[in-house]
Amino acid sequence: MTPHADPAATVVALEGITKHFGSTVALDDASLTVARGEVVVLLGLSGSGKSTLLRHVDGLERPTSGTVRVLGREVTRLTGRALRELRSEVGFIFQQFELVPSLTVLENVLTGSLAAVRGPRLGLWSYGRAAKVEALARLERVGLLDRAYQRADTLSGGQQQRVAIARALMQRPQVLLADEPVASLDPESSDQVMALIREIAADEGLTVICSLHQVDLALSWADRIVGLRHGQVVLDTATEGLSKAQVMEIYGRVATSTDQFEAIELELTAVGGGAGSATGAATGTAPLRGDAVR
Amino acid sequence: MSAVVERPRTTGAPLAPVTAPPRRRTSPERVAAGLTLLALLVASVLALRSVDLDPARMVQSWSNAQRFFGRVGAIEFPPLGELLQLTALTLGLVICGTLLAAVLSVPVAVLAASNTTPGPVWRATARFVTVLARAVPDVVLAMVFVLLFTLGTLPGILAIGLHSVGMISKLFADAIEQIDEGPRTAVRAAGGTRLQQFTAGVLPQVLPSWVATVLHRNDINLRGSVILGYVGVVGLGMQMSFAFKSLQYGLGLGYALVIFVLCVVMEVVSSSVRAAMLGVAPTGRGLGDRVVRGVTRRRGAGRQGAAAPETAGSAAGSTRASGAGSVSAPAAASVSTDPTRASGTPSAAVEAALRRPWDRARVRGVSWGWAAVAVVVASVLVCDIAWSDLLTVWSGVPAVAVQFWPPSFGSYEASTMLAAMGETISIALAATVLTVGGSLLIGSLAARNVAPSPGLRGGMRLLLVGIRGVPEVILAIVLIVVTGLGTQAGTLALALGGVGLLGKLIADSFEEVDPGPERALTATGASRGQVYASATLPQGTRALIGHTFYMLDTNLRAATLLGIVGAGGVGYYLLNASQGSNYATVTAIVLMILVTVLAVEGLAIWMRRVFR
């Protein structure tokens, strides 16, 4: 475990979180402590509980048992305005960006400030000038100022994720959660987005918890890696001096059988495999389609 | 994929006829539903015989019609000034009514949608309100409101408004249930309240569908306004009914023609509004959509030329992405040095960006927005609404309510009324079976993947658009002139009008079937007809059943109303009772209609669930 000398610096503390969805166990007695300014990656297969864990930090899920403390407050006890206040201090970045496609980029960013205002807002005119100036500055920060008045769905995936980052910054958060932020992006956009998150975290002194499934990326990007498997924390270590082989080895040790280990390795290393086979299927049907048109 | 593999095997067997659709698993419920369908089919055939559709007699009466039209002489129109004033009044009234429904439907839909409702009780109540609003015909509401308000446009507006809430809020609730929950979760994660989650995460997603539904409903209401005239709602419909009652057939047909043209123009206008306000290319295949697509295609060529200078102007030193996802890597780094914080002074670039450029999209959006405001204001003004009536009316409610309750058949025998209701059901069933037959033929030929040639498809699509343009009531009135009063005219009017709608729905759903099985069959050397019977039709059956029940539902409502213009069924008694001030009888008839409509609605829901 990474040592935290000063307990006051602890920003996120999950203690013995168990979460059931019906009969499935999403999290099984998972604990995690993150200090201020740390950049942590949650590593694991899909279904290992990464997303569920992140959603607990933001109070989007309530644990079946265990406690969640974030920024000195017990999230599990918060309701109503207190819960919304906590959420506004925790930014969340989603795999699918979750922008409103029909709104302008600027208005999407402005929705990040909703917790700071009262009542509903619809349309650019309904936000004040100060909020607009701040939103435009956030857009400038992520390099998309010139796209402010375009519809969000006219942007590429990488650009949309940068807009989502600007929206999260609009909350003036202390903690930034990112759930597979680059899983839907091409490699080039992925690198940009990951670099941007790292830069902003450093500039603004943010604490970052980010879930990923690529070991390489996690090793080069994070201060610390937390491995999840079947809802349990099976690995928690600083990345410095750690090699990929070592990470795989740790995974291997906790895997109870060989094929489980192989499944992990397959998932963690061969990410591009799925796309290749999909292309093959598409070309396979092409001659038939041509026939039908005739 | 399995279907693709299987189909060729069954059709590939030598000498096997290509007629059997793929077998489904049979559950007891499925058997029961199938038997119900069969019973309905038998009932429809019996109904077809009972409404005396006699081709020989129709040919005979066609010569009657010729003689009749000879006697009527030329179609007449009222003076232009009066005509324009009436047209404005009709349009204003319909638009006000639709707007009222549009506003009321928002809270109802929010309560009725599973993902926005505060609780199951709210949801059930709201769903019940939508069903009830649709089940009570707007004519009945108009009768009541005419009694309460006597004069002016309010009865029509309220009748249209309250009745339309049913359809608009149902479709709006369905749209809310189908949204992408992501943006809403994002607002929730950012600390937004429930209301903020709705306005920022849900509303922007469903607004286009809401606008489209409202515009669509406005078209329907314009058609329906004809019949409202028969119960005393001012406008073109009322003048038409006066003309026919005073045997001025030429003038009546003149009004009918004006209304027909108005309906077609309205469809074109609402389609352009939809396209322009939403900034989305129309995907529908209606007449209006076609026109709009044609116009935008021509304009699109000009726009591309104009785009270049715009791009150069706004680039202004900032790194700009060209094409999808190809931002150069240093893009983020180059701007990261900017120390702008919310508290500090904004940079020059931010200051400049604060003013939204007046680009094409904004100019178009703003001008359409103001145009919409102008239309709404004009509609309200032209209706000259007596707002004070809304306050004073309540004192009259108890007196009127007493007249409507308790329900009774009054001077009529209960058996007469039940027979009349039976006649209405017969008309609806007979019309539906005729519609399904006709639509299956025309609709199939109007589907891209079935039609033997694009020309034939285009022709059939045009035919469907033309049929849809004619309000059913006008069709019925003209048919009554041709065939005389009675069930025959009503049945034919509904059947013909129904082909316009059902044919379009069938064509659309046939075009949407998975093309895989069709391709597979074509690859095995099946003929066009074989592909249609073995691949297209079986895949489209589910949608066909759904649409057919929708048609039956619609026809039943319409059949009650057609009686008002003399096309047979219970509607005749409804009008008689209201004109003879036998309001207790009106209530009894309305309850009868309500029960029947709700029964069919329940049946339709069950069928859709079983054959899902």
Contacts of A101 in chain B (CB under 8 A): 205
Question: Residue B95 pLDDT more than 90?
Answer: yes
Does residue B406 have a cis bond before it (omega within 30 degrees)?
A: yes
pLDDT of residue B314: 39
- A84 in a structural domain: yes
Q: Which of A12-21, A234-243, B125-134 has the lowest mean pLDDT?
A: A234-243
pLDDT of residue A287: 35
Q: Which of A100-104, B347-351, B387-391, B396-400 has the highest mean pLDDT?
A: A100-104
Q: Most A CBs within 10 Å: which of B335, B450, B453, as the mutation test of the A interface?
A: B335
Query: What interface predicted TM-score (ipTM) does this complex get?
Result: 0.80
The DSSP secondary structure of B556-580, one letter per residue, reads HHHHHHHGGGTSSSHHHHHHHHHHT
pLDDT of residue A185: 87
Q: State which H helix or E strand residue A177 sits in.
A: strand A175-179
pLDDT of residue B572: 84
- Report the pLDDT averaged over residues B425-451: 90
Q: Which of A23-27, A45-49, B68-72 has the lowest mean pLDDT?
A: B68-72
Between B194 and A267, the higher pLDDT residue: B194
**pLDDT confidence bin for B606, thresholds 50/70/90:** confident
Contacts of B520 in chain A (CB under 8 A): 288
Q: What is the chain A residue with the closest CA to B315?
A: A146
By the CB < 8 Å criterion, does A158 face chain B? yes
Q: State which H helix or E strand residue A11 sits in.
A: strand A10-21
Domains assigned to chain B: 76-295+366-394 (1.10.3720.10), 412-612 (1.10.3720.10)
- Report the pLDDT averaged over residues A75-95: 90
- A76 in a structural domain: yes
Distance from CA of B239 to the nearest CA of A (A): 44
CB contact at 8 A, B101 and B171: no
Question: Residue B181 pLDDT more than 80?
Answer: yes
The strand order across the sheet containing A73-74 reads: A24-35, A10-21, A65-70, A73-74
A vs B: CB pairs below 8 A? 188
pLDDT of residue A8: 57
By the CB < 8 Å criterion, does A274 face chain B? no
pLDDT of residue B71: 67
pLDDT of residue A261: 57
Pairing of strands A175-179, A232-238: unpaired
Q: For the CA atoms of B223, B227, B233, B239, what is the dihedral angle to 10 degrees?
A: 90
B546, two tokens: 């759904």
Nearest in space to A34 (alpha carbons), one of A74, A75, A71, A80: A71
**% residues pLDDT > 70 (chain A):** 82
CB contact at 8 A, B426 and B572: no
Contacts of A119 in chain B (CB under 8 A): 195-196
Contacts of A128 in chain B (CB under 8 A): none
- A284 in a structural domain: no
Nearest in space to B274 (alpha carbons), one of B265, B264, B284: B284
pLDDT of residue B546: 80
Contacts of B320 in chain A (CB under 8 A): 146
**pLDDT confidence bin for B315, thresholds 50/70/90:** very low
Question: Residue A86 pLDDT more than 60?
Answer: yes
**pLDDT confidence bin for A242, thresholds 50/70/90:** confident
Residue B359 CB neighbours (<10 A): 15
Contacts of B331 in chain A (CB under 8 A): 143, 192
By the CB < 8 Å criterion, does B354 face chain A? yes
Contacts of B199 in chain A (CB under 8 A): 120-122
pLDDT in tens, A194-209: 999 999 999 988 999 9
Between B554 and B432, the higher pLDDT residue: B432
Judged by DSSP in three states, A239 sits in coil
Phi then psi for residue A66, to 5 deg, are 105, 170
Question: Residue B493 pLDDT more than 70?
Answer: yes
Question: Residue B100 pLDDT more than 70?
Answer: yes
Return the half-sphere exposure (C-beta side, CA atoms, 13 A cut-off) of residue B225: 36
Q: For the CA atoms of A62, A68, A73, A78, what is the dihedral angle to 10 degrees?
A: 10
Distance from CA of A85 to the nearest CA of B (A): 6
Distance from CA of A260 to the nearest CA of B (A): 30
Query: CA-CA distances (angstroms) from residue B425 to A176, B91, B574, B596, B600?
Result: 63, 32, 15, 9, 10
What is d(CA B566, CA B145) in angstroms, rounded to the nearest whole number?
A: 23
Return the half-sphere exposure (C-beta side, CA atoms, 13 A cut-off) of residue A186: 10
Nearest in space to B531 (alpha carbons), one of B9, B14, B7, B15: B7
What is d(CA A214, CA B519) in angstroms, rounded to the nearest whole number?
A: 40
B375, two tokens: 């239309």
**pTM for the model:** 0.74
- A267 in a structural domain: yes
b/e for B177-216, b at 16 or more Cβ within 10 A? eebeebbbbbbbbbbbbeebbbbbbbbbbbbbbbbbbbbb
- Report the pLDDT averaged over residues A64-73: 92
Between B502 and B611, the higher pLDDT residue: B502
pLDDT in tens, B327-371: 333 343 334 334 444 445 678 888 888 888 888 778 877 888 888
Q: For chain B, give the mean pLDDT.
A: 79
- A268 in a structural domain: yes
CB contact at 8 A, B200 and A100: yes
By the CB < 8 Å criterion, does B185 face chain A? yes
Look up the domain containing A241 and give its range. 11-89+206-276
Pairing of strands A73-74, A65-70: antiparallel
What is d(CA B119, CA B126) in angstroms, rounded to the nearest whole number?
A: 11
B298, two tokens: 């021509």
Q: What is the chain B residue with the closest CA to A195?
A: B332
- A125 in a structural domain: no
By the CB < 8 Å criterion, does A195 face chain B? yes
B96, two tokens: 């006000």
Q: What is the chain B residue with the closest CA to A113?
A: B190
Q: State which H helix or E strand residue A91 sits in.
A: strand A90-93
Q: Most A CBs within 10 Å: which of B207, B327, B341, as the mutation test of the A interface?
A: B327
Question: Residue A5 pLDDT more than 70?
Answer: no
pLDDT of residue A136: 93
Q: What is the chain A residue with the closest CA to B452?
A: A294
Any residues with CB less than 8 A from the CB of B216 and at least 6 apart, and which? Answer: B270
pLDDT in tens, A129-170: 888 999 999 999 999 888 889 888 889 989 999 999 999 999
pLDDT of residue B376: 92
Contact B325 A60 (CB under 8 A): no
Q: Which of A194-208, B219-233, B281-295, B380-394 has the highest mean pLDDT?
A: A194-208
- Report the pLDDT averaged over residues A243-251: 71
By the CB < 8 Å criterion, does A201 face chain B? no
pLDDT of residue A115: 86
- A113 in a structural domain: no
pLDDT in tens, B507-517: 888 888 888 88
Q: For chain A, give the mean pLDDT.
A: 81
B254, two tokens: 């003149």
Contacts of B356 in chain A (CB under 8 A): 124, 149
By the CB < 8 Å criterion, does B366 face chain A? no
Question: Residue B138 pLDDT more than 50?
Answer: yes
Contact B189 A158 (CB under 8 A): no
pLDDT of residue A249: 67
Q: Which of A90-99, B3-12, B41-50, B349-358 has the highest mean pLDDT?
A: A90-99
By the CB < 8 Å criterion, does A199 face chain B? yes
Cα separation of the two ends of chain A: 66
Distance from CA of B476 to the nearest CA of A (A): 42
**pLDDT confidence bin for B160, thresholds 50/70/90:** very high
Q: What is the chain A residue with the closest CA to B207?
A: A102
Say how many domains are in chain A.
1
Q: What is the 3-state secondary structure (H, E, C) of B341-363?
A: CCCCCCCHHHHHHCCCCCCHHHH
Contact B353 A58 (CB under 8 A): no
pLDDT in tens, B22-81: 565 567 888 888 888 888 888 888 888 877 666 666 667 677 667 766 766 677 888 999
Nearest in space to B573 (alpha carbons), one of B431, B421, B440: B421
pLDDT of residue B174: 86
- Report the pLDDT averaged over residues A23-28: 89
By the CB < 8 Å criterion, does B204 face chain A? yes
Any residues with CB less than 8 A from the CB of B476 and at least 6 apart, and which? Answer: B489, B490, B493, B494, B562, B565, B567
Query: CA-CA distances (angstroms) from residue B14 to B7, B525, B526?
Result: 14, 12, 12
Nearest to B519 among A58, A145, A291 (CB): A291
Any residues with CB less than 8 A from the CB of B163 and at least 6 apart, and which? Answer: B101, B133, B134, B136, B137, B138, B141
Q: What is the chain A residue with the closest CA to B203?
A: A122
- CATH of residue A215: 3.40.50.300
Between B89 and B454, the higher pLDDT residue: B89
Judged by DSSP in three states, B148 sits in helix
CB contact at 8 A, B184 and A164: no
Largest Cα–Cα separation, chain A: 73
What is d(CA B313, CA B357) in angstroms, rounded to the nearest whole number?
A: 11
pLDDT of residue B86: 93
Any residues with CB less than 8 A from the CB of B592 and at least 6 apart, and which? Answer: B417, B421, B570
pLDDT of residue B144: 85
Phi then psi for residue A43, to 5 deg, are -115, 140
B62, two tokens: 């066609």
Judged by DSSP in three states, A225 sits in strand
Pairing of strands A175-179, A90-93: parallel
pLDDT of residue B321: 37
Nearest in space to B551 (alpha carbons), one of B422, B438, B418, B444: B438
Judged by DSSP in three states, B322 sits in coil
A223, two tokens: 């201060």
Nearest in space to B410 (alpha carbons), one of B581, B207, B259: B581
- A116 in a structural domain: no
Distance from CA of B104 to the nearest CA of A (A): 19
Cα separation of the two ends of chain B: 20
pLDDT in tens, B243-291: 888 888 888 888 988 988 888 888 778 777 766 655 544 444 445 555 5
Nearest to A92 among B189, B200, B350 (CB): B189
Contact B191 A85 (CB under 8 A): yes
Contact B335 A142 (CB under 8 A): yes
